């Protein structure tokens, strides 16, 4: 399960300025699709429509053939795991942060998720900014490490659909490499939507959609798009 379908989607935050002008694509269950394009093209808007932060003005968005407007918020949230651009951590251990919102997860589950996301070596640490009464300081985590903590959280939730939004974070090459292995692992049996800045970060996607001026300008596999550009 987890097939996504956008059919002739039109959307504007402000009626005078359409953002999506008839966007259609399908993601078969278990596939990974990437949406790339310049800043402001409407990439993150696509993930917001899927999550129903906003509703389409024309066309439809559906999951497994069901229009998201007919799905309850609760089951929509259960179906989708979101790895945001900027993960804000609580002033608690990394293990606590991974487990937050997943009351049924055992300590073993947390450790396994941390291992897959490659954050197992610091789950007992506290995040940066933390300072205890005895002066103990938290660990400074890189952007990629924080994203891996968010990936570990998503592994515990185990939703059929994963959205990784790195549209504006413009990760450096090192950070991209850091999260790539964890991402490959977590997207294996899941429908995955990657919102990315650059083509170089989404080499393994089954399909890449290039969004420009509210329309799909190009689509294809990584090598095909490189040939054309
Ligand atoms: P991208 O992810 O491709 O950078 P977005 O989907 O975030 O682009 O945004 C597309 C356009 O919509 C941008 O011009 C942005 O300024 C505008 N926009 C985004 N969110 C809102 C909002 N909540 N209200 C009004 N305009 C918005």
- Kindly tell me if the per-residue pLDDT of 171 is higher than 80: no
Select from 136, 130, 166, 131 the least CA-distant residue to 148. 166
Q: How far is the CA of 19 from the centre of ligand 1 (A)?
A: 8
Higher-confidence residue of 80 and 143: namely 80
161: left (phi over 0), alpha (psi -120 to 50) or beta: beta
- Kindly tell me if the per-residue pLDDT of 167 is higher than 60: no
197 secondary structure, DSSP code: S
Select from 185, 54, 175 the least CA-distant residue to 117. 185
Higher-confidence residue of 200 and 32: namely 32
| Region 191-214 average pLDDT | 87
- Kindly tell me if the per-residue pLDDT of 31 is higher than 90: yes
- Please give the helix or strand (H or E) that residue 191 lies within, else none: strand 191-195
| Region 147-161 average pLDDT | 92
pTM value is 0.86
- Ligand 1 touching residue 47 (CB < 6 A): no
Q: Is 30 helix (H, G, I), strand (E, B) or coil?
A: coil
Name the residue with the closest Cα to ligand 1, atom 21: 13
| Region 94-109 average pLDDT | 95
Residue to mutate, 12, 15, 17, 19, ligand 1, most ligand atoms under 8 Å from C-beta:
19
Name the residue with the closest Cα to ligand 1, atom 18: 13
Q: Find the DSSP H helices in 124-202.
A: 143-157, 173-187
- Ligand 1 touching residue 214 (CB < 6 A): no
Residue 169: predicted pLDDT = 56
Residue 136: predicted pLDDT = 74
Chain mean pLDDT for the chain: 89
- Please give the helix or strand (H or E) that residue 177 lies within, else none: helix 173-187
């Amino acid at each position: 399960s987890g097939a996504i379908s956008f059919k002739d989607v039109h959307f504007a935050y402000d009626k005078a300025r359409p953002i999506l002008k008839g966007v259609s694509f399908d993601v078969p269950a278990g596939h990974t699709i990437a949406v790339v394009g310049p800043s402001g093209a409407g990439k993150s808007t696509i993930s917001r429509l899927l999550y129903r932060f906003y509703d389409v003005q024309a066309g439809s968005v559906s999951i497994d053939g069901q229009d998201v407007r007919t799905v309850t918020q609760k089951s929509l949230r259960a179906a989708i795991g979101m790895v945001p651009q900027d993960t804000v951590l609580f002033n608690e251990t990394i293990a606590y942060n991974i487990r937050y919102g997943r009351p049924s997860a055992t300590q073993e589950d947390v450790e396994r998720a941390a291992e897959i996301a490659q954050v197992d070596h610091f789950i007992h640490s506290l995040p940066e900014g933390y300072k205890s009464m005895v002066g103990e300081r938290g660990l400074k985590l890189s952007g990629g490490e924080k994203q891996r903590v968010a990936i570990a959280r998503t592994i515990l939730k185990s939703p059929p659909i994963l959205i990784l939004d790195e549209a504006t974070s413009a990760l450096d090459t090192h950070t991209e490499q850091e999260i790539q292995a964890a991402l490959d692992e977590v997207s294996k049996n899941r429908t995955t939507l990657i919102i990315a800045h650059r083509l170089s970060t989404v080499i393994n996607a089954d399909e890449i959609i290039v969004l420009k001026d509210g329309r799909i300008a190009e689509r294809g596999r990584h090598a095909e798009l490189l040939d054309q550009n």
